[in-house]
């Protein structure tokens, strides 16, 4: 009883803070790098609200929602468990290859180490390796080379201790260039493997 009373007093003090929030709540978080995303709230009844500032929020119940001011501390409290359970964000890497070869260019070797570290720091990793080529050579040969590049990366990761079943490979040949070129043009930026680590 006493607890309930002090809670009411506390709510009064915090003025529509944590305790004042209605059952349904939406809060936009700031993004890395200072950018802010946005969420459009379409309630079952009433007009839509766009939340597009850090910690912009709406709350409501029974089909209605309205903008509300929240403070970071209370958001941290209400969503503590969900925030703590957020997965490590996926990361993508691009590694470049010598012409006609499945051998990395020198400057991509440290990137490979970064890929390995990124996989190793996850308890549950899921890795997709996609190989590409430039347009020198036949389409069919480039399909083979693209896959060969991806497989080379997979095998090196396995040698360093990453479980084979966490790594999927594919080759896209010369079909998805980063830099569009005419056929038979040598383009280092297109001789690449993209590795996404989830």
Do the beta carbons of residue 148 and residue 131 sit within 8 Å? yes
- Using CB under 8 A, pick the residue from 13, 106, 140, 182 that binds other proteins: 140
Specify the residue, 78 or 105, whose C-beta has the smaller distance to other proteins. Answer: 78
Which residues within the stretch 91-120 sit at the binding site for other proteins (CB under 8 A)? Answer: none
Measure the CA–CA gap between 195 and 167, rounded to whole angstroms. 10
Q: In this structure, what token pair is assigned to residue 171?
A: 């080759």
| 41 conformational bin, left if phi > 0, alpha if psi -120 to 50, beta if neither | beta
Which residues within the stretch 57-96 sit at the binding site for other proteins (CB under 8 A)? Answer: 58, 60-65, 75, 78-90
Measure the CA–CA gap between 125 and 118, rounded to whole angstroms. 9
Contact between 2 and other proteins by CB under 8 A: the answer reads: no
Contact between 126 and other proteins by CB under 8 A: the answer reads: yes
| 127 conformational bin, left if phi > 0, alpha if psi -120 to 50, beta if neither | beta
Contact between 195 and other proteins by CB under 8 A: the answer reads: no
Q: Which stretch binds other proteins (CB under 8 A): 103-111, 112-120, 170-178, 180-188?
A: 170-178
Do the beta carbons of residue 82 and residue 29 sit within 8 Å? no
In angstroms, give the least distance from the CB of 87 to other proteins.
4
Contact between 180 and other proteins by CB under 8 A: the answer reads: no
Whose CA is closest to 95, among 58, 129, 68?
129
In angstroms, give the least distance from the CB of 11 to other proteins.
17
Do the beta carbons of residue 104 and residue 95 sit within 8 Å? yes
83 alpha-carbon distance from chain centroid:
15
- Using CB under 8 A, pick the residue from 8, 170, 179, 185 that binds other proteins: 170
Contact between 162 and other proteins by CB under 8 A: the answer reads: no
Contact between 176 and other proteins by CB under 8 A: the answer reads: yes
Which residues are at the interface with other proteins (CB under 8 A)?
A: 22-31, 37-44, 51-52, 58, 60-65, 75, 78-90, 122-124, 126-130, 140, 143, 147, 165-173, 176, 196, 198
């Amino acid at each position: 009883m006493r607890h309930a009373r002090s809670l009411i007093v506390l709510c009064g003090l915090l003025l529509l803070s944590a305790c004042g929030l209605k059952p349904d709540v939406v809060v936009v978080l700031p993004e890395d790098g200072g950018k802010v995303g946005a969420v459009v709230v379409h309630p079952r009844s009433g007009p839509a609200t766009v939340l597009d500032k850090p910690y912009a929020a709406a709350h409501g119940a029974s089909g209605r929602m309205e903008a509300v001011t929240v403070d970071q501390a209370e958001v941290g409290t209400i969503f503590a468990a969900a925030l703590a359970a957020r997965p490590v964000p996926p990361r993508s890497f691009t590694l470049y290859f010598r012409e006609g070869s499945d051998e990395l260019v020198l400057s991509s070797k440290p990137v490979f180490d970064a890929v390995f570290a990124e996989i190793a720091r996850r308890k549950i990793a899921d890795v997709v390796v996609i190989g590409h080529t430039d347009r020198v050579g036949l389409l069919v040969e480039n399909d083979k080379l693209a896959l060969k590049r991806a497989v080379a990366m997979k095998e090196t990761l396995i040698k360093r201790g990453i479980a084979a079943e966490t790594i999927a490979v594919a080759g896209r040949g010369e079909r998805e260039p980063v830099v569009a070129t005419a056929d038979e043009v040598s383009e280092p930026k297109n001789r690449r493997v993209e590795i996404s680590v989830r």
